[in-house]
Structure formats: structure tokens, C-alpha cells
């Protein structure tokens, strides 16, 4: 048989661009798999290749493709007996979810890494933003602590403080926000890094309510499900039944948690995972499911949603039993960090300000019918109903008002709203130039070879670091994003423009449509306060009360961080650029 060279275009399921692989027609499908793995350095065990008989440049829906899985012993010439179709993808490469998850739990597979002049840095992307370029790092995931390594201490001051609070006081809820009135609204201070570090060191569950952020999209599925229900009942009746709304939202939340628990139990049941499946690995799977493979949490949640016709009491009892089984299995399995019966697992609700704004007045407090509530209230109630003494809820966001932080402590706890105990957290950010220099140096030291270190030095000169501090003092995330873009550009002369672009994105009126932009946040707060004027009055009243007792609170053991000066509000406002 004559060996004819083939050039096959292969598309890895979940990626945007195809890759070309050259192979002789006399080779087998098994040889093709090895070539694909070598080409992409794919980090999974079983690669299934499927013929994709598509012609022309048409949009490809992977779920609609009619194809067959190839056997390893098939010859390439038998798969393509005729001339290869042009302008099409010939092979789809995918990995069975069970095989991937089992391999990941056993320690195989990790985040992609950067390629190019600076190699080996973690590479990830938020859902909804598409796959990041191969030379753009995601420093958010660099050097995370892991209980399986000797160096498992917190890198982030906030994460370490919360962890100490959880261990020392065993709190059932930690409402987490920033103290400085304006910085609390605009964020970008390192909150996400703090919660990722927290979950890397302590077992728990991560939920994110934003529509284009880290984590699974299952919380957005919950939001859309509740929204559809409210529209349906409002169209059929002029009377708003807040109690029924509460029941529906709580049942949907129970199913949300059930889907997460079932995946967790499966991970704990994988043979050979006792030494490899740590809280850090579980956190990574929850924060980056779309990067590692696909959003299995949302997919399972969608399959469980039809169960919401069951009574809330029955669902609650069932989910509580699954939670108890999962915790017992975790204790028995002995995965790091080891826990005991008295250990509380964490439930982190990130970007909770979105849920705190939605459908306000469609729900009510269970302790006071006079107190209308947004969607966040029944969600917290459902989690607390599962594990009042088993779970610690960490509710965090960049737009949570002081008034909101008061009532989230009591939702579902059986307690009346109270401001007598209030824990708040400050993120000091990068208040000193030395902190930025230290960070830049730490990233450099983590690089794998001298060529990468030299390229790093060329891209991030002392002048560049000085400008980073000048533009982003106290702002962790914008500074990190600017560094990531400088690395991506790979041009030693582009650092100034890159930093200026990052500053404009943060503060300019022209970019007021971008979430996180200071002008965007001012507009958002203006619209919110116009819509909910009574809440604004309550928030101002709560804030004034907090300030009156600030001296007393700073000496209280309830504070998470002490001796930290909040950033000046004027410092944030001073960055706003409005050019008429």
C-alpha cells in the first residue's frame, strides 16, 4: 500500500481554532491520536476521534454532527478512502466527561499554560469571553496554596484572615464587603483572588451570580428560572404571593446545591484519589469548569430542575441527607485538608450584589412580613436550611450595601435582623509601591527558564512598575490585568500605552458602559437609588450608625482585619476622567 501524506484539520471540542496534523494514509487512528496529543499537549487520557462530514465554511454545531467514533485499529485510508473534502474540519477531538473527571481527580490535568517568549504561566478565561490567546496569562491563578504541599499558607491577607475566623469562631455566616464607601461599589481589589485562596485551603462550594465571570453558570440558570416563574405568575394573577415566591426560589436553590453535592460525591468516590483530590483541586474545578473541560455543574442542574415540583420539605430533607453523606465520605476518605464532624464547609456566593438587586419586593423575610427582600434572601435561606450548623456562608460582592449586609446575616437563621454583630472586611490593595515590586518579583521567580525571565525583565521595566503604582494604587485587579496585557503584547515599547488603556478602561467616561468602570458604577448606583429610595434611606441610616460606633467596633474581636487604614474615597474619585 502506497503511503500518501494527509493533512487533517482537527477541532478540539470547546476550542475556537482548528489545528492541522500531517499523517500518512497507512497509519492508524491510534497513531493519529498520538500526533494530536503531541501537537496540542492535551492533558487527558482517552481521546475519541469522530469523522465530521461537513463541507464548505458553515457554522458547526457539535451537538448536531452525525458521525461515528473511530476505532484505534482503523487505518486512515479506510476512514478517508476518497479525496479529503476541502474547507472543512475532518476530525472532532473530544474526551468523555467521566474519563476526564476521574483523571482530574486523580491528579492528571491542570490549567493551560502560556506559550511564547514567557512560558509556563497559568492561562484561563472567564466564561462568556471566549478562549484567551495562548500568550496571555491569568495571574489570578498563579501560585495558589495547596494543602498537599508544604507551602500551603495564604498568600492573600484577606483569605488568611477569613480562614482564621472560620477556624477560631466557627461562624455560620460571614458577610464580606469593603468598608470604604466608594471602593465597596467599584471593586477590583482582589476579592476573587481571596475567595479562590480561601477555597484552596478549606473545603467548600463556589457560586458566582455574574453572567460573564468565573465559576459555573448554574447560578445564572437559577436566576433565569426564577425570573420566568415570576413572569408567569404575575401574568396569571394580580395578587403577588410572596410566600409562594419564597418557596419556589428556595426549592430551586436546593436543586442547585444538590447538583454540586452530587459532583462532589462522585469526585470522592474515584479510586486512587485520596492523595490527589484536595480542596485546591476541587476549588479549581468549580472556578474554571469551562476552562478544564465543560460546565458539568450547570448541565446537571438543568437535568435536576424538573424535580422542583416536589414539596420543599421533602427536597430539603433529601438534599440534607446528600450533604451529610458527602461530608461523611470526605471525613472517611481523608482528603487534604482533613476535617472532622465539627468542621463547617464553606458556601461562597460571589458577586452577590447582583442577587441583592434582583426582584426586590417579590420575596419577604420569614421573620417579618413587613420586610420585602430580593432574590438573595431565599437563596441564603435555602442554604442555611440545609446546614445551619454545618455550613459557613460567605456572601461577597462589590456593591453590597451596609443595610444588605445586616439582613443577610439573618435570612433563614431564625434570627431577627440585627446590627449588633457585624463583621466586615477591608482589602488594603496595593497601598505601597513596594507591594507591586514584590509581586512582580514573585512572578518572575516562578518562571521556568532564564529566557522567560529575561523576556519578563524586558517587558516590565522599573518605569513600567512605577507607572502601575501611580495609576492603580489600591487597585489589585486593574494592575494585574495591565501586567497580563503587557505580557500578551510582547513588545517592550508598549507598556506605557497598555497601562494607559487599562486606566481609561477603569476611569474614563467613554468606557462607562463597561462593568467595573467607575463611571459605570456611579450610574448604576444612581439608577438603583432612584428605583429603591426607601432602601437608600435605610442604607444611609445604617452607614451613619456604623460610623458612630466605628471606634468601638475597631476594638471589637468581631473585626476580621485590624490596623488597616481604608483607602481615601477622594483617591478613587480623583481617577475619574470626564472629558466634555
* Residue 190 pLDDT exceeds 60: yes
pTM for the model stands at 0.75
pLDDT score of 13: 58
Q: What is the mean pLDDT of the chain?
A: 77
Measured in degrees and rounded to the nearest 5, phi and psi for residue 254 equal -60, -40
Return all residues near 460 (Cβ < 8 A) that are at least 6 apart: 440, 483, 486, 495
pLDDT score of 311: 94
pLDDT tens per residue, range 194-224 = 889 999 999 999 999 998 899 999 999 999 9
* Residue 516 pLDDT exceeds 70: yes
pLDDT score of 327: 96
pLDDT score of 193: 86
Name the band, by pLDDT with cuts 50, 70 and 90, for residue 445. very high
Closest to 147 (Cα-Cα) out of 377, 369, 354, 334: 334
Q: Where are the alpha helices (DSSP H) in 337-475?
A: 352-357, 376-386, 402-408, 433-446, 450-459, 462-472
* Residue 42 pLDDT exceeds 50: no
577/84: higher pLDDT = 84
Percent of the chain with pLDDT over 70: 66
Domains of the chain: residue spans and CATH: 5-95 (3.10.20.90), 143-408 (no CATH)
Three-class secondary structure assignment of 512-571: CCCCCCHHHHHHHHHHHHHHCHHHHHHHHHHHHHHHHCHHHHHCCCCCCCCCCCCCCHHH
pLDDT tens per residue, range 116-140 = 899 999 999 999 888 888 899 999 9
Is residue 56 a contact partner of residue 87, using CB atoms and an 8 Å limit?
A: yes
pLDDT tens per residue, range 60-77 = 343 444 445 556 566 666
CA 149 to mean position of chain CA atoms: 23
Measured in degrees and rounded to the nearest 5, phi and psi for residue 512 equal -65, -10
Q: Which three cell numbers stand for residue 118?
A: 514567557
Measure the CA–CA gap between 366 and 243, rounded to whole angstroms: 9
CA 545 to mean position of chain CA atoms: 34
Closest to 222 (Cα-Cα) out of 281, 273, 298: 298
Is residue 437 a contact partner of residue 465, using CB atoms and an 8 Å limit?
A: yes
Q: How far is CA 372 from CA 70, 198, 532, in A?
A: 58, 32, 12
Edge-to-edge strands, sheet with 173-176 = 173-176, 391-396, 345-350, 204-208
pLDDT score of 439: 87
Q: Which three cell numbers stand for residue 403?
A: 443595610
CA angle 270, 274, 275 (to 5 degrees): 130
Lowest-pLDDT range of 157-166, 331-340, 435-444: 157-166
Closest to 298 (Cα-Cα) out of 216, 235, 375: 216
Q: With the C-alpha atoms ordered 111, 16, 210, 384, is the resulting torsion angle positive or negative?
A: negative
Measured in degrees and rounded to the nearest 5, phi and psi for residue 67 equal -155, 175
pLDDT score of 88: 60
Is residue 49 a contact partner of residue 69, using CB atoms and an 8 Å limit?
A: yes
pLDDT score of 571: 39
pLDDT score of 157: 61
Name the band, by pLDDT with cuts 50, 70 and 90, for residue 152. low
pLDDT tens per residue, range 1-25 = 566 777 777 776 555 566 778 878 7
Average pLDDT over every residue of 556-578: 40
Amino acid at each position: 500500500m502506497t503511503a500518501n501524506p494527509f493533512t487533517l484539520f482537527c477541532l478540539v471540542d470547546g476550542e475556537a481554532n482548528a489545528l492541522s496534523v500531517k499523517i500518512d494514509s497507512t497509519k492508524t487512528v491510534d497513531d493519529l491520536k498520538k500526533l494530536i496529543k503531541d501537537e496540542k499537549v492535551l492533558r487527558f487520557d482517552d481521546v475519541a476521534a469522530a469523522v465530521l462530514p461537513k463541507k464548505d465554511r458553515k457554522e458547526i454545531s457539535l451537538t448536531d454532527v452525525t458521525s461515528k467514533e473511530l476505532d484505534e485499529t482503523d487505518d486512515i485510508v479506510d476512514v478517508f478512502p476518497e479525496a479529503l473534502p476541502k474547507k472543512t474540519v475532518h476530525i472532532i477531538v473530544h474526551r468523555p466527561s467521566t474519563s476526564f473527571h476521574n483523571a482530574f481527580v486523580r491528579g492528571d490535568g491542570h490549567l493551560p499554560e502560556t506559550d511564547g517568549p514567557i512560558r509556563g504561566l497559568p492561562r484561563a478565561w472567564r466564561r462568556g469571553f471566549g478562549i484567551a490567546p495562548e500568550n496571555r496569562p491569568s495571574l489570578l491563578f498563579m501560585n495558589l496554596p495547596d494543602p498537599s504541599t508544604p507551602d500551603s499558607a495564604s498568600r492573600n491577607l484577606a483569605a488568611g484572615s477569613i480562614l482564621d475566623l472560620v477556624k477560631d469562631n466557627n461562624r455560620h455566616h460571614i458577610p464580606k464587603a469593603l468598608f470604604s464607601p466608594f471602593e465597596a461599589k467599584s471593586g477590583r481589589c482582589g476579592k476573587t483572588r481571596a475567595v479562590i485562596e480561601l477555597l484552596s485551603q478549606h473545603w467548600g462550594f463556589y457560586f458566582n451570580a455574574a453572567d460573564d465571570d468565573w465559576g459555573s453558570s448554574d447560578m445564572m440558570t437559577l436566576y433565569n428560572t426564577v425570573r420566568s416563574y415570576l413572569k408567569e405568575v404575575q401574568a396569571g394573577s394580580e395578587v403577588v404571593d410572596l410566600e409562594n415566591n419564597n418557596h419556589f426560589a428556595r426549592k430551586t436553590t436546593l436543586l442547585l446545591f444538590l447538583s454540586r453535592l452530587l459532583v462532589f460525591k462522585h469526585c470522592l468516590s474515584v479510586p486512587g484519589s485520596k492523595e490527589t483530590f484536595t480542596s485546591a483541586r476541587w476549588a479549581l474545578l468549580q472556578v474554571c469548569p469551562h476552562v478544564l473541560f465543560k460546565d458539568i455543574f450547570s448541565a446537571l442542574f438543568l437535568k435536576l430542575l424538573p424535580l422542583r415540583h416536589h414539596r420543599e420539605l421533602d427536597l430539603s430533607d433529601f438534599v440534607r441527607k446528600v450533604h451529610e453523606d458527602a461530608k461523611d465520605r470526605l471525613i472517611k476518605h481523608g482528603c487534604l485538608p482533613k476535617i472532622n464532624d465539627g468542621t463547617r464547609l464553606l458556601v461562597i456566593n460571589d458577586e452577590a450584589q447582583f442577587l441583592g438587586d434582583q426582584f426586590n419586593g417579590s420575596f419577604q423575610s420569614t421573620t417579618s412580613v413587613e420586610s420585602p427582600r430580593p432574590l438573595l434572601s431565599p437563596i441564603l435561606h435555602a442554604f442555611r436550611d440545609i446546614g445551619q450548623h454545618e455550613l459557613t456562608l460567605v456572601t461577597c460582592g462589590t456593591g453590597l450595601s451596609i443595610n444588605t449586609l445586616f439582613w443577610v446575616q439573618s435570612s433563614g437563621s431564625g434570627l431577627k435582623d440585627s446590627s449588633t454583630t457585624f463583621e466586615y472586611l477591608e482589602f488594603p490593595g496595593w497601598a505601597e509601591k513596594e507591594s507591586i515590586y514584590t509581586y512582580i518579583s514573585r512572578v518572575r521567580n516562578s518562571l521556568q527558564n532564564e529566557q522567560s525571565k529575561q523576556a519578563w525583565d524586558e517587558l516590565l521595566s522599573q518605569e513600567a512598575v512605577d507607572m502601575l503604582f501611580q495609576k492603580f494604587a489600591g487597585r489589585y485587579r486593574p494592575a494585574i490585568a495591565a501586567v497580563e496585557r503587557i505580557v500578551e503584547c510582547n513588545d517592550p515599547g508598549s507598556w506605557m500605552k497598555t497601562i494607559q488603556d487599562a486606566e481609561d478602561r477603569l476611569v474614563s467616561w467613554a468606557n462607562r458602559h463597561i462593568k467595573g468602570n467607575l463611571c459605570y458604577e456611579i450610574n448604576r448606583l444612581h439608577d438603583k437609588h432612584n428605583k429603591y429610595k426607601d432602601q437608600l434611606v435605610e442604607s444611609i441610616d445604617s452607614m451613619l450608625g456604623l460610623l458612630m460606633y466605628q471606634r468601638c467596633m475597631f476594638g471589637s474581636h468581631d473585626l476580621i482585619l485590624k490596623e488597616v487604614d481604608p483607602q481615601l474615597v477622594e483617591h478613587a474619585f480623583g481617577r475619574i476622567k470626564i472629558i466634555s
